[in-house]
Structure 1
Amino acid sequence: MPFSKKPKAGMDTIATALTCDQREVFVDDKNHSIKYRTLSWQSAAFIMITEIVTGGTLTLPQAIAVVGLVPGTIIIIFCGVWALFTSYLLIDFKLNHPEVHNMGDAGYILFSPLGIGSVGREVLSAGTILFAITGVGSMSLLGQLALQTLSQGGMCAMSYLGIWTCITFLVAIPRTFGAGLQGFSVVACISVLVATLVAMIGSGVEPTPGRVVVATAPNTFYTAFLAITNPVLAYAGHFLFFTIISEMKVPRDAKKSAWALQVFSTTWYVIFAVVSYCYLGAGVQSPSFLSLSKVWAKAAWGLFLPNILVAGALYNHFSAKLIFVRMFRGSKHLTENTLVGWTIWILLLAIANACGFVLATGVPFFSYLGGIVASAFASWYTYGLAGAFWWHDTHYFGDGWRSVRQRWPMFLLCFATLVLGGFICVGGLYAIIKSLIEAYASGAVGHPFTC
């Protein structure tokens, strides 16, 4: 079936989540050795925060420095509110379609009425895996940078990267979120909170001499869009919501998790970005910890390590789980401790981790590549596609396009979501690719597999 047909519901709240729906990927856990559906909404919120509020946080002070204090702050808040709205749309879609486990499943449902459901599944699945693997590489590079700062560069950079990649692999091994990863995520959330708090204190104690702070800064479209891409993509994590919700005890409680995520992330993004910019000035680097004095930078990086580690492990876990569930859905290897199941699981984790390592160290323009992948896919996963999901369900669970037209304010909001998602995709790709070309022209891009 191209979509899950069910009785009409009140269109203000279409979703009617069930705690045990036979269409779910993981059902009847009590009779299985591996129990997936163990997450409370609080645990889900911690995982969401860990996966989203991580390295991107450290790019926000520089984004504000480029566009100015006032527009930078407004953009961060707007993106947070927008991300909360799209979170609700994605969660409603998941509750209406319990069988959806990832963006690939959602793509099949969304594009089946057009006769290209299989194409939608493969494209969105590939984008999810690619984005997750670049996330693994990005977290590995952050871990490498942190270890280099703490040890003052005592070893080759590739050695640090290799060590960090191996540790990330070990943390990602649990098959379910409840088997360790939810506890690690609590530690990771405390880590990012304390580390950024220490960084703000450090910037206040030892501010940049002669710093320049402006309310607004003149910019070309290219430089401004390149800067605001960071706050926009700092909320990019919705593509993993379906997978997290699939392991919740009560999926409808995911909206509580979304509220916790967006309130925390938006509030802390604004506080950290504004305070850091005000004390470090227009010359603040990205990541912003690099602009701190040596002592405060070491303290901040050291405290930030758990967050980087767990975020990388989550990306690794997500990329492997999408393929694993697709291979063994409905099979005993998914829910029992079988040799085949564990062998394939470990192999998928190792491949994803190895790909992240190779990309991070073998692609000299990897930081730009991460931005390109995020612009191409996260712009749609986090923002654009949410509107299409609402259109689909309102049409098929209501009276067709009549139901859509009757709710014209939501229709317009969802249309705006699609348009803005496309704008971020095109604008982000343009800005990052142009920046990459300029970096190559200036010789700023290094060489692969070097220290």
Structure 2
Amino acid sequence: MADEKSAIQSAAPSSPTHSKEYAIGDSEAVVFDDDDAHEVFKKNTDGVNFRTVGWVRASVIFLKVIFATGVLGIPSAMYSLGAVGGALSVIGWGALNTYTAVVQGDFRNSHPGCHSIADMARVLGGPVLKELTGGLFIIAYVLCTGSGILGVSIGLNALSTHAACSVWWSFLATVVVMATASVRTFHKVGWLTWAGFASIFTAVLIVVIGVTTRDRPASAPSSGPYDFGYHAIAHPTFVAGMTASATIFVSSAGTSAFLPVISEMRQPKDYRKALFTCMAIVNAAYLSFSLVVYKWCGKWVSNPSLGSAGPVIKKVAYGIGLVGLIVSACLYLHVASKYLFVRILRNSKHLQANTVVHWSVWLSCTFGLASLSFILAEAIPIFSYLLALTGSICFAPLAIMLPGWLWIHDHGSWRRGGVAKMAAYYLHFLMIAIGAFLCVGGTYGTVMEIKAAYANGSVGSAFACADNSNSIAH
């Protein structure tokens, strides 16, 4: 009977077997699925166990990736678009970015060998598209890391009233970010995200409350009449409108960073729970915070917005929010480094083993990309423009165009379905067109704005020591 049973089992189609294995963490009991043959990281105990993230911790990691430097640039973008246009932009881009994040997660879970957006691109267009997408992914998060480093240097300048050269503050920020990002697993980095999210959320809330207590904006003339600059409906130029739209878009577009986290989740199928929790909080906070700050500051809103409530509140906000800014840059650098690390060591014994090769590759990735981020942060020392450039060049293809193509790839039969299915199918081609327009138009607009800023002297030269926090009179 035993032999007969074995023969039947071997002849039957292979199906995943499950064993219950409970782990403590994230305040949730977790059931492990033993069928991880296609996953990048295996649930082993011989080396580094990357598969330790529960959905609660994943949602906080997602929150910290999204709710970071983006929230500091939205209020100034509101001035270009007006309150109504800005609010619609926050809602529209937030909804679209949430949907494309669902598409990416669903595609990843139906193709579990995909660790990153570049692996998904390989499914669509082979090795060439994979390498192009991978390069774009690294550039995106190196630029994001640069914006985080720039934000930290602004905070240090604000707290010290420009006690040292801005380049030295950026270098110090880079060292701290590089050290924290060198922790190898998202689970261990994850505990920082709780403190980071609480830090930046509290800092922004303090500024929101602070601006409502002033008779006039902190940056406005101290006496006499002045142009407040608040508009419900604004009429921006193409360049200003595209730059503002790209800034708001990028504030919730970093969803491709969620994919490497899924590969380290105990239950990848819990991804949607983490995603919806994150995006609901982020979009509600973006909309409420940015509208209040713009309503009370008008065109006098600071960039980043933590300086909008005067020098005292500015120091308090940066003092509290500094941890959040550091953790944001840490996560961006970790995501970029993890992609490169897996790209180099995938299917190698060194991927999860504590070998010299493992550590050498990992630290080379973090140190190398951190150095590049520092250079870019100093070369483009304008916070909002750095964000907008990241959104238009990198995230328009990664967060709109590619997800549209992913959906079309997995739903090819819909083009011959009913009217509703056909409409859905061809609307995803429209997504690709929207992404292409934002990529070209946003990049053009941002480059023109950067060029104008250098020409009119509103920003200093690259690697300048000048105060970038407006804490001292120029």
Q: Is TM > 0.5 for Structure 1 vs Structure 2?
A: yes
Q: 2:94 is aligned with what amino acid?
A: G
What corresponds to 2:354 in structure 1?
Answer: 337
Shift of 1:449: 2.5
Counterpart CA distance in 2 for 1:415 and 1:43 is 34
Post-superposition CA distance 1:149-171 (Å, at most 9, x none) = 00111111111111111111111
Q: Which moved more, 1:138-147 or 1:63-72?
A: 63-72
Q: 1:139 is aligned with what amino acid?
A: G
Equivalent residue in structure 1 for 2:134, among 92, 101, 125:
125
Equivalent residue in structure 1 for 2:47, among 14, 33, 47:
33
What corresponds to 1:73 in structure 2?
Answer: 87
Q: 2:150 is aligned with what amino acid?
A: L
SS of corresponding position for 2:323: helix
From the two aligned structures, give the one with the greater helix fraction. 1
SS of corresponding position for 2:57: helix
In the alignment, does 2:442 pair up with 1:410?
no
Alpha-carbon contact 2:199-2:320 (below 8 Å) kept = yes
Q: 2:211 is aligned with what amino acid?
A: S
Alpha-carbon contact 1:203-1:279 (below 8 Å) kept = yes
What corresponds to 1:448 in structure 2?
Answer: 462
Shift of 1:446: 2.6
SS of corresponding position for 1:332: coil
Shift of 1:436: 2.3
Counterpart CA distance in 1 for 2:156 and 2:381 is 20
SS of corresponding position for 1:285: coil
SS of corresponding position for 2:299: coil
Alpha-carbon contact 2:200-2:324 (below 8 Å) kept = yes
Q: 2:238 is aligned with what amino acid?
A: F
Q: Which moved more, 1:215-224 or 1:402-411?
A: 402-411
Counterpart CA distance in 1 for 2:420 and 2:156 is 57
Shift of 1:356: 1.0
Q: Which moved more, 1:17-26 or 1:223-232?
A: 17-26
What corresponds to 1:198 in structure 2?
Answer: 206
Alpha-carbon contact 2:249-2:391 (below 8 Å) kept = no
Alpha-carbon contact 1:18-1:251 (below 8 Å) kept = no
Counterpart CA distance in 2 for 1:231 and 1:414 is 22
What corresponds to 1:357 in structure 2?
Answer: 374
In the alignment, does 2:69 pair up with 1:55?
yes
Alpha-carbon contact 1:47-1:185 (below 8 Å) kept = yes
Post-superposition CA distance 1:211-230 (Å, at most 9, x none) = 44331122223222222221
Shift of 1:403: 5.9
Shift of 1:263: 0.5
Q: 2:65 is aligned with what amino acid?
A: E
Shift of 1:303: 1.3
Shift of 1:24: 0.9
In the alignment, does 2:168 pair up with 1:151?
no
Residues 177/134 of structure 1: CA separation in 2 closer, same or farther (3 Å cut): same
Alpha-carbon contact 2:415-2:422 (below 8 Å) kept = no
SS of corresponding position for 1:197: helix
SS of corresponding position for 1:282: helix
Instruction: Point out where structure 2 has 5 or more consecutive residues left out of the alignment.
Output: 1-13, 16-31, 218-225, 466-474
Aligned ranges for residues 20-419 of structure 1 at < 5 Å? Answer: 20-27=35-42, 29-111=43-125, 117-179=126-188, 181-208=189-216, 211-362=228-379, 368=385, 371-395=388-412, 399=413, 402=416, 407-419=421-433
Alpha-carbon contact 1:66-1:217 (below 8 Å) kept = yes
Shift of 1:265: 0.9
SS of corresponding position for 1:341: helix
Aligned ranges for residues 409-448 of structure 1 at < 5 Å? Answer: 409-448=423-462
Q: Percent identity?
A: 30
Post-superposition CA distance 1:258-288 (Å, at most 9, x none) = 1012101110001110111111123212211
Alpha-carbon contact 1:39-1:177 (below 8 Å) kept = yes
Counterpart CA distance in 2 for 1:149 and 1:445 is 17
Counterpart CA distance in 1 for 2:424 and 2:232 is 34
Counterpart CA distance in 2 for 1:368 and 1:271 is 23
Alpha-carbon contact 1:19-1:251 (below 8 Å) kept = no
Alpha-carbon contact 2:415-2:421 (below 8 Å) kept = no
Counterpart CA distance in 1 for 2:91 and 2:268 is 27
Q: 1:310 is aligned with what amino acid?
A: V
Post-superposition CA distance 1:260-319 (Å, at most 9, x none) = 121011100011101111111232122112222111011111111111111111111111
Instruction: Point out where structure 1 has 5 or more consecutive residues left out of the alignment.
Output: 1-5, 8-16, 112-116
SS of corresponding position for 1:88: helix
Residues 373/280 of structure 1: CA separation in 2 closer, same or farther (3 Å cut): closer
Counterpart CA distance in 1 for 2:104 and 2:359 is 31
Alpha-carbon contact 2:414-2:422 (below 8 Å) kept = no
Alpha-carbon contact 2:240-2:449 (below 8 Å) kept = no
Post-superposition CA distance 1:1-23 (Å, at most 9, x none) = xxxxx99xxxxxxxxx9773311
Residues 221/283 of structure 1: CA separation in 2 closer, same or farther (3 Å cut): same
Counterpart CA distance in 1 for 2:430 and 2:191 is 38
